[in-house]
Chains A and B, each alone.
Chain A
Amino acid sequence: MDSKGNSEKKKDLTCVGKSVRRVDGWPKVLGKAKYTADHSFEGMLFAAVKRADFPHARIKSIDVEGAQLPGVEAIMLEEDIPGNPRFGALNPHQPVIISDIVRYLGDGIALVAAKSEKIAREAAKRIVVSYEELPGLFDPREARKSELSIHPEGNEIVHHVLRKGEVSEGFAAADVVLERDYQTQFQEHAYLEPEAAVAVPQPDGGITVYGSMQHPFSTRRVVARVLGLPLAKVRVIQGELGGGFGGKDESSSIVCARAALLALKTGKPVKLVNTREESFVESYKRHPYYLHYKVGAKKDGTLTAMEIEIVADGGAYASMSTFVTWRSVVQATGPYTVPNVKTDVYAYHTNNTYTGAFRGFGSPQIVYASESLMDELAAELKISPAEIRKKNFYQQGGETATGQTLKHVVSLEPALDAVLAELNKKPLEQNANPVFSRGRGFACSYRGVALGAEGVDATGAVVNLLEDGSAIVSTGVAENGQGLRTVFSQIVSEELGIPLEKIVFLDCDTSSIADGGPSVASRCTIMGGNAVRHACLQLKERLNLSEQPDLQKAIKATLNAGKSLYAFGWHNAPKVSWDEHTGQGDAYFTYVYACQGVEVEVNNQTGETKVLRAVAAHDVGMALNPQQVELQIYGGVTMGAGYGLTEEVILEKGVTKNPNFNGYHIPDSRMIGEIVPIIIENPDAAGPFGAKTIGEPTCELLAPAIANAILQATGARVRTIPATPARVLHAMQKEGAPA
């Protein structure tokens, strides 16, 4: 099947490819899984943060006098920070707490540690800050032209370009040219567990931090920098994670750093837990995008040119904006062969909540726009949405917008066919009540796997095989609730022939394994899985299992020979490339393909849209655990429905108007009638057992599928998401559809 030995036939496998149950299910159903806020230590203090009162203001003075309540043990300002008070992956300009200029309402100004949470919060409330209010910028399109600069380095965070062919020639050759604008919103991750940290000072002057973070190593970097400690003296242990979805990076690092500052200052353990409201106000969101698309096509649907300009709201700090928008520039055309492409993606600072990584990472916005556009173009050309896509789909051996040749199996057409077959199994039946109109729609995508040309992409794993044939496994990527412990344990079980019950998975502890990069970009299975496999292959070689297949005997012989059964596997991703001046290169080492379809019912009087049925076909390379793949699909489709229909953080002049679940509506159990998952398998040479990825592609497709279905149901096109009842009604009135 490929040159790397990934030629296992699925039927020959004993554990991989099977829907084994989660290895961490027991502690979770027993209520014994320890999330960060469940940790408690003798003499522990509780922390609270005094936050900014204005979204953009110069701090004139900070008066902590009134906060010195009985029970308060420490109050810290920026000047009390022993290390560097600023951090950031690309631009280290984000403050842990700040004393000069606040740039959004989530900024912290002072930290308090007290004997109880109640006292700490009361004390924080009593800190008086006087400000000189500064004019704010709340729209990235204004920030683009404004003389006002939020940071000394200017408002522009990044400008990515992609140039392929000559768009003017492409448009000249077109029979039809269409221009459309689309807009997307701030979306909140809404992990059920708010950010939390418990920092415990150590006798050697170092610190141990338990935290609810996705990336313990990023957190270690921030905490060490802020405390002025060597990395080795900062030990970060991931608590059981109550959801992340990309959101627990800087948002969690900052909470951990604050708890650590207070713990070192007081010499006592300190717990800091954000309230839901603090989480909404402080943590970064999905970027709102303003997207302008111009597309040219021949009468038969053949695309001739695409010109795209995207402006993203980066909010107050740079965070991951550069990386998020880079994925957008790579994938902005959608999975279609376009000979002439000109794409510009910009991100600008505003005084809104900052924006960063969120499951999908710059793709849900562009998939929403480009897949709405394809339907609009098909209507203009009077051909079917399926036909126009099939005419232009990327093909194996074909070239992407970035000039990359796709050498693996490109499964766009099978994915689309599978979805349409399932979706149209029964003819569309209208509700007998004429108030309701039903419609169907779908959307397709391709997605680069793992980090790609964003940067170094490598990770490690330890497999420690013990004398009785049990094994301890740990990896540099972390369980985020997605099922990594289970899938990695399956790989070990498969390779070494030991039952899952004899495998213990250690939680991520930065002092016990090499920095394996972040648990992002749907890279854990493909990167971490390969690392686990490399460790197992080393062990197999040492055990000489090909000649001594009895594992117990092989273990004994290997140990008697003085050899170790402790193996460290390291996996470095295949080579990628990128020319930032042209936007050309092999952006990712492989891609996944997907299609999702949906049937909706729109209430013509209220504009309310219901998802009756969703069908999702995803090529995952190979499903290492089909049940877990299906769960990712269910969860991602549901999150995509929220993105398309209900979820929007309302920011008015930098103020979050709906900072809890009573005003911010994530899908509940009644939101979706049915979800049909379809798993497509085309094993990929780059993945363990041929596996690629599933986490993120699942949530980038439902919003455009819904928009396309709403059009079929009502004749109205919604070009701003979420498609709230008001927006749907407005679009219907504009189209003159029956109300």
Chain B
Amino acid sequence: MQHKILLTINGEQYENFVSSERTLLDFLRDDLGITGSKKGCDEGECGACTVLVDGIAVDSCLMLAVEADGCELLTVEGLNKSELDPLQKAFIEHGAIQCGYCTPGMLLSAKALLLEKNDPTDDEIKEAIAGNLCRCTGYLSIIDAIRSVAKGGG
């Protein structure tokens, strides 16, 4: 069954019909072609699909598109405005990227943390990205990058 949903993604309004079982991730990637969010496990374990829904980090593979009706979404494509988000800059600067597949989700989990808390401890940073798996970097440079933005008042 198709449902009409209305939502805001990266500041743009969308009005679409989706079937009730469509996940938010498939809706973003396959229906709208917004492919920055990645599918790694499709069961909420890897965090590659993390997006912000009304400011909260969510695994978009675990959320149905219909549940996002009326919500405001932020995906990696919406992070930068006229210039890169401080987190995006810090990820490049600190070498927090290798293959880059986890990067979109990692950035958004970090964003959600910093929206909630502007000076998190290292343990809080580690906890905030504990649901975002990265196989390349060993996490340390990612933690450094997030810390640098927090300290910089980002």
Contacts and interface: CB of A to CB of B under 8 A. Distances in A.
Interface residues of A, number: 60
A639 B48 CA distance: 18
Contacts of A31: 35-37, 75-77, 79, 104
A426 interface: no
Given A245-B135, A669-B130, A669-B143, A240 B33 contact: no
A670 B139 CA distance: 9
A216 interface: no
A243 B129 CA distance: 19
Among A29, A194, A662, chain B packs the most CB atoms within 10 A around the CB of: A29
B42 interface: yes
A635 B92 contact: no
A481 B42 contact: no
B139 A481 contact: no
Contacts of B150: none
Contacts of B142: 669
Interface in B22-75: 29, 33, 35-43, 45-46, 48, 75
A29 B91 contact: yes
* Chain B at the A interface: SS class: loop
Nearest to B140: A634
Given A21-B92, A241-B99, A635-B98, A276 B43 contact: yes
Given A192-B102, A669-B139, A29 B77 contact: no
A661 B46 contact: yes
A481 to B, nearest CB: 3
B107 interface: yes
Contacts of A242: 38, 99-101
Among B79, B80, B125, B133, chain A packs the most CB atoms within 10 A around the CB of: B133
Among B97, B132, B143, chain A packs the most CB atoms within 10 A around the CB of: B97
B84 A29 contact: yes
Contact of B77 (A30, A193, A482, A672): A30
Contact of A634 (B36, B75, B126, B138): B138
A25 B91 contact: yes
Among A38, A193, A483, chain B packs the most CB atoms within 10 A around the CB of: A193
Contacts of B140: 634, 672, 674-675
A670 B126 contact: yes
A275 interface: yes
A631 B130 contact: no
Interface string A652-666: 000000001110001
A627 B48 contact: no
A33 B76 CA distance: 11
Given A192-B134, A660-B41, A26 B92 contact: yes
* Chain A at the B interface: SS class: loop
Nearest to A480: B99
Contact of A481 (B36, B93, B98, B138): B98
A668 B131 CA distance: 8
B43 A660 contact: yes
A131 interface: no
B115 interface: no
A634 B137 contact: yes
B38 to A, nearest CB: 7
Among B131, B137, B138, B142, chain A packs the most CB atoms within 10 A around the CB of: B138
B133 A666 contact: yes
Contact of B100 (A28, A634, A636): A28
Contacts of A661: 41, 43, 45-46, 133
Contacts of A637: 138
Nearest to B45: A661
B96 to A, nearest CB: 9
B141 interface: yes
A38 B104 CA distance: 14
A309 B76 CA distance: 51
A631 B41 contact: no
Contacts of B39: 37, 194, 273
Interface string A305-325: 000000000000000000000
A572 interface: no
A40 interface: yes
A22 B95 contact: yes
A29 B134 contact: no
B130 A243 contact: no
Interface in A658-711: 660-662, 666-672, 674-675
Contacts of A241: 99
B99 A243 contact: yes
B40 A194 contact: yes
Given A190-B135, A660-B45, A32 B36 contact: yes
A609 interface: no
A630 interface: yes
A578 interface: no
A631 B141 contact: yes
Among A24, A30, A32, A241, chain B packs the most CB atoms within 10 A around the CB of: A30
Contacts of B101: 35, 191-193, 242-243, 481
A192 B76 contact: no
A191 B133 CA distance: 10
A24 B140 CA distance: 20
A275 B100 contact: no
Contacts of B126: 669-670
Interface in B118-154: 125-127, 129-143
A238 interface: no
B123 to A, nearest CB: 8
A481 B135 CA distance: 11
A724 B59 CA distance: 29
A31 B79 CA distance: 9
B13 to A, nearest CB: 20
Contacts of A669: 125-127, 129-130, 132, 134, 139, 142-143
Given A31-B75, A670-B127, A193 B132 contact: no
B46 A635 contact: no
Contacts of B38: 35, 192-193, 242
A596 interface: no
Nearest to A661: B45
B74 to A, nearest CB: 11
Among A273, A627, A669, chain B packs the most CB atoms within 10 A around the CB of: A669
Nearest to A39: B35
A29 to B, nearest CB: 4
Given A21-B93, A669-B126, 12 more contacts: A30-B80, A33-B100, A191-B99, A193-B99, A242-B38, A480-B99, A481-B100, A627-B95, A631-B95, A631-B137, A661-B43, A668-B139
22 contacts: A21-B93, A24-B100, A25-B91, A28-B103, A30-B79, A34-B35, A38-B29, A192-B102, A193-B101, A240-B99, A242-B100, A276-B42, A480-B99, A631-B98, A634-B137, A634-B139, A635-B136, A638-B137, A660-B43, A661-B46, A662-B43, A675-B138
